[in-house]
Amino acid sequence: MALQPSLKSLIIAGSPGSPHTLELFLDYVCPFSRKMTLVVNSVLKPLFDEGGKYSGKVKVIFRNQVQPWHASSTFVHEAGIAVARAAPEKFWAFSVLLMERQEEFYDIPTSTMTPLQIREKLAEVASQAGLTSVQVKAFSDALALKGSPNGGVSVTDELKYTIKISRQNGIHVSPTVLWDGLVANEISSSWGSKEWADFLANKVIAQ
């Protein structure tokens, strides 16, 4: 599927010109998305990045899968997009760290927090992920409410884009994985290196 230019940093592994595409629809507050993210980081990225077995053959796109039954899902995905804007090279590091700390943003921990407090906490995660003070300021500015009473924040349009991508393609839950544009239902968050190795051996046909 397509990816608008302002979100090009959501290509988290491989070259943008790679012929095969693996798309990961993940929610930052989904435990199963957390499992898959950690495997992607340790197993898949080394295979697809420069020097890896499938370098130049497969690219991986992170798709923000907002799940509104998790109360903070919108806030955490706004934050991911804000990092993609303020410090694109830190997007994946932020995403991994946020997945690791996702329990802090579950329903009960955030139930007594205001939206501003949630965003302040997300700024602390961004700082821990390696954003500079200037980048954290840009991150926070991207999450500042607009002047109109119901106008959202400056990354709202990008968030709408990611949600529309999910809706028009019938993606309902996370994690959902697409291979070359088709849902690969066989892929599970419980997969490790062997399952992914077998899958890729069967699917990668690009020379």
Can you list the domains of the chain with their CATH numbers? 5-203 (3.40.30.10)
Give tens-digit pLDDT for 86-111: 999 999 999 999 999 999 999 999 99
pLDDT of residue 45: 97
Give tens-digit pLDDT for 21-36: 999 999 999 999 999 9
pLDDT of residue 2: 87
Distance CA 116, CA 64 (A): 21
pTM of the model: 0.96
C-alpha separations of 119 from 41, 45, 101 in Å:
25, 29, 14
Residue 156 is encoded by which pair of tokens? 């709202």
Backbone region of residue 191 per phi and psi (left: phi > 0; alpha: psi in -120 to 50; beta: other values): beta
Give tens-digit pLDDT for 137-179: 999 999 999 989 999 999 999 999 999 999 999 999 999 999 9
Provide CB contacts within 8 A for 116, sequence distance 6+.
Answer: none
What type of residue is 75?
F
- How far is Cα of residue 100 from the mean position of the Cα atoms in its chain? 13
SS (H, E, C) 141-205: HHCCCCCCCCCCCCCHHHHHHHHHHHHHCCCCCCCEEEECCEECCCCCCCCCHHHHHHHHHHHCC
What type of residue is 130?
G
